[in-house]
Every structure is written in C-alpha cells, then in structure tokens.
C-alpha cells in the first residue's frame, strides 16, 4: 500500500489480536490552496514566529503552553506529553457491538481503512472480520490518535474493515438549542402532497461521480485562464430566490419534473370572500367597448326560475 498509515497498533477482540494499520479513506491533495505572496515581487511570504516584546523567535525556543487563565500558562514539554500513555495508544480494543441505527448520524465523523499489518496478521484479522459480518453489528473501540482518544466504529467492507471516528459527546451540540425555536406549524396537506410527488420524481440511486465540487472546478478554470494571461471578467451573479406564493412554487417545481399538480380546493371562507368582492366591485368596461343603451322592449312574462346549481363535492 503506497499511502502512509495514520496509526499502527493492534486490533483486539477479547483474547484474539493482530497487528493492523489505519489509513485515511479520503484525500485533500486535489484541493485548491493559495499561498500568500508579496503584492509587487510575488515572493512567497514567510511567517516568522515573533514575541511581542523581544521580536523574532527561533523555532527551537518555542514550547507548548496551556492557558489556565488570562495570560497565565502551564508549560508542557513534548517528553511529558509522550509519557501520557493509555492502553489505547497502541491497541484498538473492541468493547461493544451495537446496531448501526443506534448511532446518531451527528456522531459519525471521518472514515478510515483498517487493514492487517503484515502477512502474519491476515488469519486473525479475517476471523474477526467474518465474525463481524455474520453478526451484522457495528463494533465500537477506542484508540489514541493525534493526541486524542477517539471512539471508533468498525464494520466489514469487502475484504477489509471500514473504520469511522465518532465524535465525543462533548463535541455534539444539543439539537434542541436550535430546533426548539422553530414554530410547531401544521403544513397545508395539498402542499405536502405536491412536495412528496416532487421527492418521488427526483428519487434515484446515489452516484458520487455526479456530485463534484463545482466551486473548485470554477477556481481551476480561473487559474488556467490567468495562466494563459487572459483577463477574466466578472461572472454573472446568481439570481436570488424570488419570494413567490408557496403553492405556485410547488406547482412549478412539479411541472418542471414532468408531473401534474392536483387541483387545490379553495376554503369556504376564501370562496365567500371572493364572491362578495365580485358583487361589490363588478368588472368595469372601457368606454370604447360600451354598447349604446338599447330601447326598452315591451315587458315580457317573467321567465321560469332556474333550478339551483348543485354544489360541487
């Protein structure tokens, strides 16, 4: 394996153990990053550590400190940090097996590949992986990585084991801190029905190749044009979302998806209001369209009354 492991140690299930290596499952090498340059010389800027009182400081004179109160620090040496060792520093000990749906999505963090470290580890590693696959459970264990003990969730994947670091309880905020401020409003059933149809029409399999970082692609295109010496003009600003009638927006969305929105039933209150407005304010006719008043015809016998119109269901 060409990549360098993030962590090396032992995977242990009860009394069974084997050497393993942990590799990051994602990569940021393709990200667009910028360096700071001098505006005129284009020389790269060097960040020089500086003491506000004495001036520039050598790297060898820098130590680690933890601020216990404003302006007061406890100095910790690298050797003292190395002496803080837990059993999980070199061992990923499986402590419990749980169902996947028991782990809230808020806690899932970064993915890793856990692989056997050497040929001698393959047999025990395979036994543990197959037993996990048969149980259908997620294994939970802890290890020390980047000066932190992290809870790891393990699941079999192909011939290997996929490991996810899980956020600690202190890292995850309470959703109620934000969601409790949302009013408990019952939405219009017709609107929900249309939104549900839109979701059904847009449903499909997840294809990660369809979800590239378009902002990064635009940055790369910009860099390429600048490299050629071209002047890049101001791009057209994206249009802001228009504030329109929600039902109308849902109907348009469904129409773009090839569906047909169900007819919306008008409430009795709105129907009576519309009728009253129509009676109070009859449609006006332009003067050019008005017909001359006809002469009065002799009175006729009153016509028979029409049957009342049937109310629509």
Residues 158-211 pLDDT 10s: 999 999 999 999 999 999 999 999 999 998 898 899 888 888 888 888 887 887
In this predicted structure, the answer to whether residue 16 has a pLDDT above a threshold of 60 is yes
Q: Which of 33-37, 75-79, 125-129, 144-148 has the lowest mean pLDDT?
A: 144-148
In this predicted structure, the answer to whether residue 114 has a pLDDT above a threshold of 90 is yes
Q: What is the largest CA-CA distance in the chain?
A: 117
Task: Give the span between the Cα atoms of 274 and 285, in whole angstroms.
Answer: 20
Contacts of 123-132 with C-beta under 8 Å, sequence gap 24+, read 123/18, 124/16, 124/17, 124/18, 125/11, 125/18, 125/20, 125/161, 127/16, 128/11, 128/13, 128/16, 128/18, 128/94, 128/161, 129/156, 129/159, 129/160, 129/161, 130/156, 131/13, 132/97, 132/156, 132/161
For the chain, the distance separating the N- and C-terminal CA atoms, rounded to the nearest angstrom, is: 71
How many C-beta neighbours within 10 Å does residue 145 have?
18
| pLDDT tens digits, 213-233 | 777 778 888 888 878 887 777
The SS3 assignment for 96 reads: strand
Partners of 94 in beta bridges:
141
Residue 258: predicted pLDDT: 61
Task: Give the span between the Cα atoms of 88 and 143, in whole angstroms.
Answer: 4
**Region 121-145: what's the mean pLDDT?**
94
Identify the sign of the CA torsion 71, 72, 78, 84: negative
The SS3 assignment for 102 reads: helix
Residue 97: predicted pLDDT: 96
Residue 56: predicted pLDDT: 92
In this predicted structure, the answer to whether residue 234 has a pLDDT above a threshold of 90 is no
CB contact at 8 A, 126 and 11 = no
Helices (DSSP H) in 16-153: which residue ranges? 78-82, 122-135
Q: What is the DSSP letter of 22?
A: E
Return the percentage of the chain with pLDDT > 70, whole number: 77
Q: How far is CA 90 from CA 25, 156, 179, in A?
A: 20, 21, 40
Residue 151: pLDDT band with limits 50, 70, 90:
very high
Threshold 0.85, pTM exceeds: no
CB contact at 8 A, 290 and 229 = no
Return the percentage of the chain with pLDDT > 90, whole number: 44
* Number of residues assigned to the chain: 313
Higher pLDDT, 33 or 300: 33
| pLDDT tens digits, 248-267 | 887 888 777 666 655 555 44
In this predicted structure, the answer to whether residue 74 has a pLDDT above a threshold of 90 is yes
CB contact at 8 A, 144 and 84 = no
- Using alpha carbons, select from 144, 259, 148 the residue that is nearest to residue 199: 259
Residue 142: predicted pLDDT: 93
- Using alpha carbons, select from 251, 269, 268 the residue that is nearest to residue 260: 251
**Region 18-23: what's the mean pLDDT?**
95
Task: Give the span between the Cα atoms of 98 and 94, in whole angstroms.
Answer: 11
């Amino acid at each position: 394996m060409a990549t360098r492991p993030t962590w090396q140690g032992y995977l242990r299930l009860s009394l069974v153990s084997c050497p393993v290596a942990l590799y990051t499952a994602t990569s940021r090498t393709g990200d667009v990053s910028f360096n700071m340059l001098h505006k005129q010389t284009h020389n790269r800027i060097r960040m020089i550590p500086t003491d506000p009182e004495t001036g520039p400081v050598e790297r060898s004179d820098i130590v680690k400190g933890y601020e216990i109160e404003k302006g007061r620090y406890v100095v910790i040496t690298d050797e003292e940090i190395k002496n803080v060792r837990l059993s999980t520093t070199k061992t990923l000990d499986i402590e419990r097996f749980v169902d996947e749906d028991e782990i809230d999505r808020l806690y899932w963090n970064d993915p890793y590949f856990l692989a056997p470290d050497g040929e001698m580890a393959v047999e025990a590693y395979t036994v543990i992986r197959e037993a996990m696959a048969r149980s259908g459970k997620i294994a939970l264990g802890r290890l020390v990585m980047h000066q932190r003990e992290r809870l790891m969730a393990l699941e079999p994947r192909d011939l290997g084991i996929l490991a996810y670091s899980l956020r600690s309880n202190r890292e995850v905020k309470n959703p109620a801190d934000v969601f409790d401020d949302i009013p408990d409003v019952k939405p219009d059933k017709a609107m929900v029905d249309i939104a549900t149809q839109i979701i059904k029409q847009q449903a499909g399999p997840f294809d990660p190749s369809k979800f590239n970082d378009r902002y990064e692609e635009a940055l790369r295109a910009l860099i390429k044009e600048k490299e050629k010496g071209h002047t890049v003009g101001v791009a057209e600003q994206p249009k802001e979302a228009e504030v329109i009638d929600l039902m109308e927006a849902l109907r348009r969305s469904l129409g773009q998806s090839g569906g047909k929105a169900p007819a919306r039933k008008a409430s009795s209150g709105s129907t009576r209001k519309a009728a009253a407005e129509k009676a109070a304010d009859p449609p006006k006719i332009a003067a050019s369209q008005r017909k001359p008043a006809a002469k009065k015809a002799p009175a006729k016998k009153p016509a028979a009354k029409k049957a009342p119109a049937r109310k629509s269901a």
